[in-house]
Structure formats: structure tokens, C-alpha cells
Amino acid sequence: MRNNLLLAVGTGLLSAILLMIAASGSLTITLLAYLTPLPLFILGLSGKNHFAGVAGALAALLLFAAATPMVAVVYFFLVVLPVTLFCDSATQMRGRANLHGTQANLSSASVGHLCAQISITPALLLTMLFVYFLFQQNENTQALLSKTAESIMVTYQNALIEKNVAISPEVGKQIVVIKNTLVNTAPALIGIFWMTLFLINAMIARHVLNRFTQTFPIAFKLSQIELPHWVIITFISSGLMAAVLDGEIGLYSTNLAAIIAFPILLSGLGVIHLATEKTGYKKTILFSVYTIILISRWAALLLIFIGMIDHFIKIKAKIVSRSAKS
């Protein structure tokens, strides 16, 4: 017990120190902020998920005293709470899997639940943001996003002018497109960025535990994702509302659909992973797929479509069945 508490204190200090160093350093050092959840993930996925929560709470208290209350609150709700709940769910699911005779592995439904759980935090924060502005008489979310986007674009244009870069009509059109994208989807883009970092930290933690400890954390595989029905229902409903409604509700629905699309995209990637399993060119194909996703939104939309189709006709299950027969 004493050793676990000392480990929790050390983990919390490391997580908080990473954030404080990142906030006070250069741009390169600022990247350390992206690894803030990593110590908590390593402790939580090692089986000590309750002590990960203790470590996170201690880190939040340290940030409250050393930084500002706002930093502590943001850290608690964006790092501590999601990581603790994720590790707790993963530990419970692994325990149920072990009772059925499997080792360090989860069913497709369990992996899908964990995948969907990642999207809950940004979806809730998005909802809270819109509910807050719903009760504001003089301002709404769309106006705030428009002002913010305008400020960013003015700063960008001034930077181009300072470097003596002529703003051609083509560049002007690109600036307008970027501004409209920020106005319409900025909350979703931030949420997707957060979910990506969350998932990367979880995978790094699992790799560290496999490499340097005797712990066998969960095997989180994209090819095992089977999403719960509420994810698909929420995505379809919000997508339809975004298509037919304008104003605040339309903006909220657009961003909610984009956030909920993230686990569906991961499920679509799982289909690609399985389909390339026995090709002999898996790494090359996957590298190409991930590269295309980074540079083309159409590739991401295609993967979301594949994830949707997989939910209804079980493409991954059919691929596994055919592989077992061959």
C-alpha cells in the first residue's frame, strides 16, 4: 500500500511537472505538454488504475497551488478524469475477459466501448459550451468562433505582409476557406486533436509496459473494434440535423457529428488493417493509408463510410471468418 501511494505521488508529480515545464519553455519543450497523460496511463494500465486517479488528483492540487486554478481545472477534466475512467474500464474489461479464459485480450465489443468512450469527453465539453451560450443574451457560439477566426486570419495576413509575401487572389480564397472551416468546425477540430493525443498516449503507455515491465496490458487493436449502437445513432442523427438546420443547433450538430465520427473512422481503419493482414505489404499499405488521411479529408470520409458499413454488415467478422477457413 505504501509503495503504491509513493508511486502515485511520483506519477502525479511527473505529470504536473511535464505540464509546467512545457508552459514555461520554448516551442520544442512545449511539446512535452502532449505527454502529460502518459505517466497516468502507464500507472493506470499497469493494473493500478485507482492509484492513477490518486496521482492525477495530486497533480491537479499541485497545479492549483503552483499555477492557477483554471489550469488545475482544465488538467483535471481533460487529463485526469478521462484517463482514470478509461483505465478503470480497461481494467474491468480485462478482468472479465480473464474469467472467460483469455489473456490480456478483449472482445470486439469491449474494444469498441473503449474506443467510443474516448469521444465522450469532447462531446460533453461541446455540449456544455453550447448550453452556456444558449443562456447568453448578447453573444452566441457562432459569433465567438467568427471573431476568433477573424483575429487568426488578420494575424496570418499581417505575418504574410511583414515577410513581403503578396496576397494573391488564390491565397485570398484559401484564407476565406480556412476561416469558414474554423467558424464551422473549430470545436470539433480541437476535440479530434485531443482524442488523437489521448489515443497516442495510451498506445505509448502500453508499449512501455510491454517493453520494460512484466505487466501485460490490454491488447487494443483497431481490427477488434465493434462500436456500440449509440455511436452510430448519434452520428446519423447529428448528421441529419446538421444538414437540415441552421444557426446554433446546426453548428452544434455539425461539430458533434465530426467528433462522434472519430471512433467510426478508427473502426474503418480496423477494416483496412484486417484486409491487409495477409497481403505481405501490410506496412507499406498502412503507411500509404495514414499518409493520405493526413493530406486528404476525402480519405477520412471514406474510412468513416467504411466504418459505418462495417457496423451493419460486419465486414471485419467476415474477413476473420474467411481467413480462418483458408
Cα gap 194→291, rounded to integer Å:
19
Cα gap 290→272, rounded to integer Å:
11
Evaluate whether 71 touches 113 at the Cβ level (below 8 Å): no
Of 249 and 219, the one with more pLDDT: 249
Cα gap 35→15, rounded to integer Å:
8
Cα gap 183→91, rounded to integer Å:
39
Nearest of 215, 247, 43 to residue 140 by alpha carbon: 247
Residue written as grid cell 509503495 = 3
The string of pLDDT tens digits covering residues 114-157 is 899 999 999 999 999 999 888 877 778 888 888 888 888 888 77
DSSP per position, 118-147:
HTHHHHHHHHHHHHHHHT-SS--HHHHHHH
Q: Is the pLDDT of residue 287 over 80?
A: yes
Q: Is the pLDDT of residue 235 over 80?
A: yes
Read off the pLDDT of each residue in 201-230 and give the average, rounded to a whole number.
82
Evaluate whether 234 touches 68 at the Cβ level (below 8 Å): no
Cα gap 145→5, rounded to integer Å:
44
Q: What is the model's pLDDT at position 4? A: 63
Per-residue pLDDT band for 232 (boundaries 50, 70, 90) equals very high
Q: Is the pLDDT of residue 2 over 70?
A: no
Q: Is the pLDDT of residue 6 over 70?
A: no
Q: What is the model's pLDDT at position 28? A: 60
Per-residue pLDDT band for 218 (boundaries 50, 70, 90) equals low
Of 303 and 221, the one with more pLDDT: 303
The string of pLDDT tens digits covering residues 165-185 is 667 777 778 778 888 888 889
Cα gap 117→108, rounded to integer Å:
14
Nearest of 309, 238, 217, 225 to residue 273 by alpha carbon: 225
Dihedral over Cα of 55, 59, 65, 66: its sign:
positive
Cα gap 60→74, rounded to integer Å:
9
Of 234 and 99, the one with more pLDDT: 234
Q: What's the gap between Cα 52 and its chain centre?
A: 19
Dihedral over Cα of 121, 60, 193, 86: its sign:
negative
Per-residue pLDDT band for 262 (boundaries 50, 70, 90) equals very high
Evaluate whether 130 touches 142 at the Cβ level (below 8 Å): no
Dihedral over Cα of 94, 95, 100, 101: its sign:
positive
Q: Which three cell numbers, joined as nine digits, stand for 286?
A: 498502412
Q: Is the pLDDT of residue 186 over 50?
A: yes
Read off the pLDDT of each residue in 38-56 and give the average, rounded to a whole number.
84
The rounded percent of the chain whose pLDDT value lies above 90 is 30
Q: What is the model's pLDDT at position 215? A: 65
For the whole model, what pTM was predicted?
Answer: 0.86
The string of pLDDT tens digits covering residues 57-106 is 888 898 888 888 898 899 999 999 999 999 888 888 766 655 555 444 45
Q: What is the model's pLDDT at position 45? A: 87
Nearest of 53, 61, 125, 36 to residue 91 by alpha carbon: 53
Q: What is the model's pLDDT at position 259? A: 96
Q: Is the pLDDT of residue 295 over 90?
A: no
